[in-house]
Amino acid sequence: MGGSAGDEELAAWVVRACAELGLEPLGVGERDAILDLARDVAHHVVRPGAPVTAFLLGVAVGRGADLEETRARLAALVSGR
């Protein structure tokens, strides 16, 4: 993401949300990977699937799954691999 006001607002929101939930700050790479997955689900599956997929990713990671591995599995599912 490239430095727009929206990017700054998103970054600030993520910091506040993580603090509110007692979570470690989310890295920019992690955030962007989640946004990319949500975008792909919205465009290639169904739009309402984007937030649901992000939620499911969070549940899986909260239960101990690796973020990147789980994100990659879901991305492959979206692309039909």
- pTM, rounded to two decimals: 0.87
Q: Looking at the chain, which runs of residues are DSSP E strands?
A: none
pLDDT of residue 4: 76
pLDDT tens digit at each of 81 positions of the chain: 455 779 999 999 999 999 999 999 999 999 999 999 999 999 999 999 999 999 999 999 999 999 999 999 999 999 996
DSSP symbol at 45: T
Helix axes 28-44, 49-62, angle to 10 degrees: 140
